[in-house]
Structure 1
Amino acid sequence: MELDYKAIGKRIKIARIQAELSQEALAEKADLSPTHMSNIENANTKLSLPMLISIANALSVSADTLLCDSVIHSKEIFAQEIQSAVADCDEYEIRILTEILKASKRALRQNKKLNQH
């Protein structure tokens, strides 16, 4: 399995924005040049494991959080993302999103069964 550098870059950018850091500030905290940080976020360059750890530490997130799109067993990370996505929902929004999620799950499982036959 190959790493999805575009997804990793996107997750770094999201975590950076959530941490209220500019690219320059994150680059400084991770001991990278601002240009290199931009190239990582935009998937114009691959990043090494030490660089990934440095960025994760600078953002105070786990490496799993940044890599979950490339890791098969990431259920916990995605479950946390769902929980975070609905945390600020009102009663109406949470009901609608629950129904959408249930319908999506049914459709996925039905499609999976059709493809197995």
Structure 2
Amino acid sequence: MLADAVGIVPVYVSRIESGLGNPSLEIIVNIANALYVSVDELLYDEPDRKEPQLPGGYLDLLKDCDEYETRILSYVLKMSKKTLRDSSDFRKMIEEMEAKKIKGKQRKIQKKPLP
């Protein structure tokens, strides 16, 4: 199935897997795309990550976005990050909102009637 997705013959996939094949960069990228992983994840067991990974749900939110939506969301994220870093008041406001949200969840749990 991988060979079909990449456009190569199964024997060549086997040679790549066993270390006998020498795939071109294009083939490596096509394999990574077919497996839905980044090239570094394909080439290394554990890539050296200096940046934190996005929580899984964020990528799912972006999957069905078109180019325009992705561009706008990227802009909004960049501006939000800048605002968060430039304004301690904004950071405090967000922290207070999160604290209230957590307390609200705890109250809802406590208010549930016992069976």
TM-score class normalised by the smaller sequence: 0.3 to 0.5
Query: So what's the TM-score if we normalise by structure 1?
Result: 0.39
Query: So what's the TM-score if we normalise by structure 2?
Result: 0.40
**Higher Cα Rg: structure 1 or 2?**
2
